[in-house]
Structure 1
Amino acid sequence: MEKAEIEGLWTHIHWLSVLEEHGTYTAAAARLGVSKSAVSQRISDLEKATGTRLVTRTTRSVRLTDAGQSLTREVRSAYAHIARSFSSVRDAAGEIRG
């Protein structure tokens, strides 16, 4: 997968994380401030891009597949690394100013 293609999927991956956290398309959509169908479409697009199912849908909830859980776990780790990097930069900027 090309870098530009992956960059275009960041929002989709974030929405998958929100879906995992909230357990239903309705709750995820409410949290994101979008329609349920918008969340469903983004997840479908992400599944097409990865070539695998990321979500198992039931009548009342959703559950991430092993692949979906793996993706969100890796992304959480990446986000944590990014957050630490920002903190380091801010701390360094504060030391320079101070």
Structure 2
Amino acid sequence: MCNGIFATYFACLEVEDLSIIPEGMIGFKLPSTTYAKINCTTKSIGEAYPKLFHWMQENGYQQKFLDHTCPMEIYYFEENVEEEQVELWIPIKEKCENS
């Protein structure tokens, strides 16, 4: 979660039930929404965000902010690899009317 000044990262695990949450942890639900997604690596993540936002702009999409959504970075950690695979997911609004 980011507000332009600082970012907060959550290490998450998808679960089906939030009735029992271990002490020191929180549970939250993200409603179903549409995302723009790009695959990259830990080394190319800095290039991936501009590419994704450029694609969104070219195709008439805008990021959905603070509407029970949040951008996600999904890391696929593996042992003995130089670059881990990463997926960037940005929640998007319906296409802009001028598109």
Q: Report the TM-score, using the length of structure 2 for normalisation.
A: 0.24
Larger relative contact order (Cα-Cα within 8 Å, sequence gap ≥ 6):
2
User: What TM-score comes out, normalization by structure 1 length?
Assistant: 0.24
In proportion to residue count, which structure has more strand?
Answer: 2
Structure with bigger helix share is: 1
Larger CA Rg, structure 1 vs 2: 1
